């Protein structure tokens, strides 16, 4: 079903500045009040105690904007901040290189301003990020107890960066340039150079190159790109004010 919205035109700006979720049949301003008709019923707006409620349906407030200082420079967007009397959720955050989002509970209020570090989405898989690390060629693959667990053995020392909970991948020797997820690391033995995975999603073969990808949320270093587009949402049915939105931005160095 296609999304439908009501657009408002402003003579002052000669454009369409606002989008509204409610869908009236007819609208009119009269005696300093705004009236609409919906399914034959007459409504007067901005008079009830419940905000964001139209025709007995609760809606959300949504604001989409862009940070684009120094448009020709690749930047690292480290944080999101806003001045408001309520916490907002960042439901969409994207650059031309990455995506992310932040719950309203991720923001901490400090001196009447809300702050949060920019986090990648939990489902993000981008092997170009620094959270991707190679291990080496697999020399042995063995099923062990409990049922469904497997051990992967290497001839090289396992990096101290590797930890339980990391996502393990392999690049098939027969098809270079492709990658498949093996599973999640459940144990690391650096004495024997053996990694244990409890549940195998795809089975590697001896000679395949193995690498791991750390948790994208925990390893988030911000959003990198020329610009950052974001959407803020608020579900509060009380009056909420949003005064400004900002970000800590620095030049990105390769």
Q: What is the domain partition of the chain in residue ranges?
A: 6-58, 65-124+220-251, 132-213
Question: Which residues have C-beta within 8 Å of that of residue 184, sequence separation ≥ 6?
Answer: 165, 166, 167, 168, 197, 198, 199
Mean pLDDT, the chain, as a whole number?
89
Per-position DSSP letters for 199-219, written without gaps between them: S-SS---TT-EEEEE--TTTT
pLDDT band at 1; cut points 50, 70, 90: very low
Q: Which CATH architecture has domain 132-213?
A: Beta Barrel (2.40)
116-to-64, 84, 87, 97, 160 alpha-carbon distances in Å: 18, 14, 11, 20, 28
Residue 221: Cβ-neighbour burial (10 angstroms; 0-12, 13-18, 19+): middle
Identify which has the larger pLDDT, 197 or 97: 197
pLDDT of 89? 92
Question: What are φ and ψ of residue 214, in 5° steps?
Answer: -80, 165
pTM above 0.85, yes or no: no
């Amino acid at each position: 079903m296609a999304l439908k919205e009501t657009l408002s035109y402003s003579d002052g700006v000669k454009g369409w500045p606002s989008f509204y979720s409610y869908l009236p049949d007819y609208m009119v301003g009269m005696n300093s009040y705004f009236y609409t008709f919906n399914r034959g019923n007459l409504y007067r707006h901005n008079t009830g105690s419940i905000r964001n409620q139209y025709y007995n349906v609760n809606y959300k407030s949504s604001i989409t904007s862009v940070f684009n200082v120094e448009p020709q420079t690749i930047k690292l967007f480290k944080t999101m901040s806003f001045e408001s009397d309520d916490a907002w959720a960042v439901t969409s955050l994207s650059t031309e290189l990455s995506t992310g989002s932040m719950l309203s509970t991720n923001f901490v209020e400090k001196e009447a301003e809300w702050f949060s570090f920019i986090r990648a989405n939990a489902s993000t898989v981008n092997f170009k990020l620094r959270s991707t690390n190679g291990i080496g060629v697999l020399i042995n693959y063995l099923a062990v107890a409990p049922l469904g667990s497997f051990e992967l053995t290497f001839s090289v020392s396992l990096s101290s960066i590797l930890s339980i909970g990391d996502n393990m991948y392999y690049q098939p020797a027969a098809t270079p340039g492709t990658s498949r997820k093996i599973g999640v690391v459940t144990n690391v033995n650096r004495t024997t150079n053996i990694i244990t995975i409890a549940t195998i999603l795809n089975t590697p073969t001896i000679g395949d190159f193995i690498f791991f990808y750390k948790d994208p949320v925990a390893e988030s270093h911000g959003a990198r790109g020329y610009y950052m587009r974001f959407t803020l949402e608020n579900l509060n049915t009380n009056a909420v004010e949003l005064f400004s939105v900002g970000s800590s931005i620095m030049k990105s160095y390769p």
